Chains A and B, each alone.
Chain A
Amino acid sequence: SQKIEQNSEALNIQEGKTATLTCNYTNYSPAYLQWYRQDPGRGPVFLLLIRENEKEKRKERLKVTFDTTLKQSLFHITASQPADSATYLCALGSWGKFQFGAGTQVVVTP
């Protein structure tokens, strides 16, 4: 069955450092992969989308890589700030349907 794995342990990081999150998947060939931010009690907010034929995408302090051979995506937050503290979800999609990972909580301390 399809499976998406994100590190369940919270990532504690000091302000200014780079946070790196991992999303691994099995039994899936997604057309694209997305990363979302979710704050407690709120709906997810879209951050980045990367397609199967793309290796890397950047947006401001965010960078996403997508390795379809390893079946893995890495999500980087550079120069992290306390305001970046949230849970980050990866989602795999094909033809408009999405499957989400459970998310990794990031805590950025001053």
Chain B
Amino acid sequence: GAVVSQHPSRVICKSGTSVKIECRSLDFQATTMFWYRQFPKQSLMLMATSNEGSKATYEQGVEKDKFLINHASLTLSTLTVTSAHPEDSSFYICSAAGDRGSSEQYFGPGTRLTVT
């Protein structure tokens, strides 16, 4: 299967600072990338869908000014958590799909964000 990487795997930051998480598709061109958040023992919650070269589509309740998504190339999408607060502490996971509307998506290993 396709390989998706995320960096960093863990990050601890102070409240009020911003954190950038990178998601890369290593061996295929990802037309679409998804960003999820997962709290302990809960399901993955889709935050936004990003298509290369266009603005991300955010799910209801997700603040687009707080969670900035940039999908600048077919292999890289970034999620920036701006002015992070302790309640933003979570497990952030990206996934990538080769085609719009594709039924197959490949997940990254996730990034554990802790805001102190």
Interface residues of A (CB under 8 A from B): 4, 31-32, 34, 36, 41-46, 49, 51, 89, 93, 95-103
Contact = CB atoms under 8 A, between A and B. Distances in A.
Given A89-B43, A96-B32, A97-B46, A43 B110 contact: yes
A81 B89 CA distance: 34
Interface stretch (B11-19, B65-73, B79-87, B93-101): B93-101
B43 A44 contact: no
A89 B44 contact: yes
A110 to B, nearest CB: 25
Given A4-B43, A44-B93, A46-B1, A98 B110 contact: no
A106 to B, nearest CB: 14
B107 A43 contact: yes
8 contacts: A41-B110, A41-B112, A42-B109, A44-B107, A93-B103, A96-B32, A96-B101, A96-B103
A32 B103 contact: yes
B7 to A, nearest CB: 13
Interface in B1-46: 1, 4, 6, 32, 34, 36, 41-46
Q: Which of B6, B43, B108 has the most CB of A within 10 A?
A: B43
Contacts of B97: 96
B102 interface: yes
B93 A43 contact: yes
Nearest to A105: B41
A42 B110 contact: yes
Q: Which of A34, A95, A96, A99 has the most CB of B within 10 A?
A: A96
A34 B104 CA distance: 9
Contacts of A51: 103
Contacts of B90: none
Contacts of B109: 42-43
Nearest to B102: A96
Contacts of B93: 43-44
A103 B110 contact: no
A2 to B, nearest CB: 12
B107 A45 contact: yes
